[in-house]
Amino acid sequence: MILYNTLGGTRQEFVPHEEGKVKMYTCGPTVYHYAHIGNLRTYIMEDVLEKYLRYAGYDVLRVMNITDVGHLSSDADTGEDKMLAGAKREHKSVLEIADFYTKAFFSDAEKLNIKKPDVIEPATHCIPEFIEMVSRLIDKGYAYLAGGNVYFDTSKLDNYYVFGNMNEEELQVGVREDVGEDENKRNKTDFVLWFTKSKFDDQELKWESPWGYGYPGWHIECSAISIKHAGEYLDIHCGGVDNAFPHHTNEIAQSEAYLGHKWCNYWFHVLHLLDKRGKMSKSKGGFLTVSLLEEKGYDPLAYRFFCLQSHYRKPLVFSFENLDNCVQAYNKLVARIAKLNADGAPDLEAAKKYQDSFREALDNDLNTSLAVTALYDVLKGDINDATKLYLIKDFDRVLSLGLIEAAEKKTADATADVDVAKIEALIAKRGEARANRDWATADAIRDELKAMHIIIKDSKDGVTWEVEQ
C-alpha cells in the first residue's frame, strides 16, 4: 500500500515494523463539546484506513486517547483549559462534561459506522505514566523546571521541525502567540510538560507530582498513552492536519527524547472540512453536528458517503447542496442493490477482478472515491446478482456505508406497507378468471396489482408476487 507520509512529505510504500501487524494511534476528541462533522471527517477517514488495513490482512491494534485534561484554548500551551471552559459554560464539573461528551462522541461515531478503537484511554487515567515520562525527560536533560512548570527544551534536538516540508511561517503561528506571555521558556518553541502555575489557576483537576500539585500538558498525553498501549515502535499516527504542528511535532520531540530512538514511521493527516467561514471549528461555534444533520432529516451515513467521495488529502467544502446530491446518489445506490436477487451462488473467480480494482484504489494512498467507483462497476458488471451482492458486502467491510442493511430495510419497508390479504384475494380472483379463460378480467387484475406496485409471476408451481422496487 502506498501512503502519503507527512514525515518526508512523499508517497511511500507502507511497511510496518512487524510483518503482518500494524500499531496505529489516533488523537482522540477533546470532550468539552460535541464533535463537529469536521472532526468526524477525520475519524471517518481514519476508520477507513484501519478497516482497509484489516481487509488487506493486517492484524491492527488501534489506540485512541480521550482528551479530558490539558488541552488549552491555544494548541500551543496558553489560555484556559478547554475542559474547564466547557464545564463553566454548562455549570457542571469537568468530569461530568467529559463523561457526557465522550458518550456523545461514541454515539455519533456509531451512527457513522466508525468502529471503536481497540484501546480508548482518557488522559486522566494515566497521570502516573505522564509523571514517569516527564521525570525521565528531566533526568536525560531534555526538560527543565522554570516558574513552577516543567518545559521541554527544544534546543536539545538537532531537528525540531520534523515536518520540514510544511511552511515555517505557518508552523510558527501557534507558537508566536505565546512569545512574551511565558517568560519561563528558554526557547520560543519549548512547551509545557507539567503545569503547576498558570494564569488560569482555578483548574479543577490537579494531581500531586514531584514538581508540585498540577496537571499535564496536552502533548505528553498522546506520547505516554501511545507508548503505554502500543509500545516503543508505532507504525501509523493519525490526526487532522491542524495537529501536525505543534501537537505532533511536540509528541515526536518528547517521545524520541524519552525512548532514545525513532518512534513512529508514518504520519497520516486528514485535511480539513471547510464551511463558508473556513475551517469548521469548535471554538468558533456555529458548527454542524451529527444530531443537527439528523434533525434536518439526513441519514448520518449519507455524510459518510459524502466524505468518501473525496480524497482525505484535499480540503473538503461542506454545503447542504453537496450533501443533498450525496443523499440522492446514496438512495439510488440502495435502490439498485435492493433489486438484486440473492438466489444462487456467487462466482468467486469472477469476483476477483472487481476486488483487485477495489484494492488498487485503496492501495493508492487510500483513494476512497475510486473505491466507490469500483462499487458502481460491480453493479454495472456482467456478473450474476449473487456475485454482486457478495462483492458489495465485501467492499462494505471497509466503506461501511450500511448498503446491504439499507437495501434490506427498503425492501422490508415496502413490503410492510402492502395489504397482503387484498393482494392474495386479487390473485385468487385472477386465477378464477384464467380458469374460465376470461383473459380480459385476468389482465385487468394484473394491471390493478401493477398500479399497487405489485409484480406477479406465473410459474408451474403457481403464482408468486413481489413489491416493485
Secondary structure in 3-state letters for 131-147: HHHHHHHHHCCCEEEEC
With a CB cutoff of 8 Å and minimum separation 6, the contacts of 296 are 320
- Positive or negative: CA dihedral 29, 106, 222, 213: positive
Nearest residue to ligand AMP, by Cβ distance, number only: 240
Taking alpha carbons only, the member of 283, 275, 128 closest to residue 207 is: 128
Among 7, 16, 23, 30, binds ligand AMP (CB under 6 A): 30
Residue 16 vs 246, nearer CB to Zn ion = 246
Q: Is 86 in the site for ligand AMP (CB under 6 A)?
A: no
Neighbouring CB atoms inside 10 A of 228's CB total 19
Residue 27 vs 374, nearer CB to Zn ion = 27
Contact 236, 270 (CB under 8 A): no
39 binds, among Zn ion, ligand AMP, none (CB under 5 to 8 A by kind): ligand AMP
387 binds, among ligand AMP, Zn ion, none (CB under 5 to 8 A by kind): none
In order of 21, 166, 343, the CA distances from 458 in angstroms are 55, 68, 18
Least distance (Å) from ligand AMP to the CB of residue 272? 4
Gap between the Cα atoms of 377 and 354, Å rounded: 8
Contact 245, 171 (CB under 8 A): yes
Q: Is 310 in the site for ligand AMP (CB under 6 A)?
A: no
Q: Is 239 in the site for ligand AMP (CB under 6 A)?
A: yes
Q: Is 240 in the site for ligand AMP (CB under 6 A)?
A: yes
Residue 41 vs 388, nearer CB to ligand AMP = 41
Dihedrals φ, ψ of 146, to 5°?
A: -155, 130
Q: Is 102 in the site for ligand AMP (CB under 6 A)?
A: no
Neighbouring CB atoms inside 10 A of 430's CB total 22
Q: Is 39 in the site for ligand AMP (CB under 6 A)?
A: yes
Stretch that binds ligand AMP, among 17-25, 38-46, 180-188, 220-228 (CB under 6 A): 38-46
Among 7, 22, 24, 27, binds Zn ion (CB under 5 A): 27
222 binds, among Zn ion, ligand AMP, none (CB under 5 to 8 A by kind): Zn ion
DSSP secondary structure letters along 110-123: HHTTPPPPSEEEEG
List, in sequence order, the alpha helices (H) in 311-456.
Answer: 320-338, 348-363, 368-380, 385-399, 403-416, 420-435, 439-451
Neighbouring CB atoms inside 10 A of 421's CB total 8
Query: In a 10 Å sphere around its CB, with 0-12 CB exposed, 13-18 middle and 19+ buried, how is residue 95 labelled?
Result: middle
Residue 29 vs 346, nearer CB to Zn ion = 29
Stretch that binds ligand AMP, among 33-41, 58-66, 377-385, 388-396 (CB under 6 A): 33-41
Least distance (Å) from Zn ion to the CB of residue 277? 25
Size of the site for ligand AMP (CB under 6 A): 19
Residue 121 vs 396, nearer CB to ligand AMP = 121
Contact 372, 399 (CB under 8 A): yes
Tracing cell 403457481 back to the chain, one arrives at 462
Among 27, 72, 253, 371, binds ligand AMP (CB under 6 A): 27
Beta 59-66 vs 264-270: how paired, if at all?
unpaired
Binding mask 180-219 for ligand AMP (x = CB under 6 A): ----------------------------------------
Neighbouring CB atoms inside 10 A of 261's CB total 9
For residues 264-283, which are near ligand AMP according to CB under 6 A? 270, 272-273, 279-282
Q: Is 241 in the site for Zn ion (CB under 5 A)?
A: no
Among 35, 222, 301, 401, binds Zn ion (CB under 5 A): 222
Least distance (Å) from Zn ion to the CB of residue 197? 24
Stretch that binds Zn ion, among 10-18, 222-230, 421-429, 461-469 (CB under 5 A): 222-230
Gap between the Cα atoms of 158 and 154, Å rounded: 9
Query: In a 10 Å sphere around its CB, with 0-12 CB exposed, 13-18 middle and 19+ buried, how is residue 157 labelled?
Result: middle
Q: Is 402 in the site for ligand AMP (CB under 6 A)?
A: no
User: 3-state DSSP call for residue 277?
Assistant: coil
Q: Is 72 in the site for Zn ion (CB under 5 A)?
A: no
Q: Is 227 in the site for Zn ion (CB under 5 A)?
A: no
Gap between the Cα atoms of 26 and 88, Å rounded: 28
17 binds, among Zn ion, ligand AMP, none (CB under 5 to 8 A by kind): none
Q: Which residues bind ligand AMP (CB under 6 A)?
A: 27, 29-30, 38-39, 41-42, 67, 239-240, 242-243, 270, 272-273, 279-282
The residues of the shown chain that bind Zn ion, judged by CB under 5 A, are 27, 222
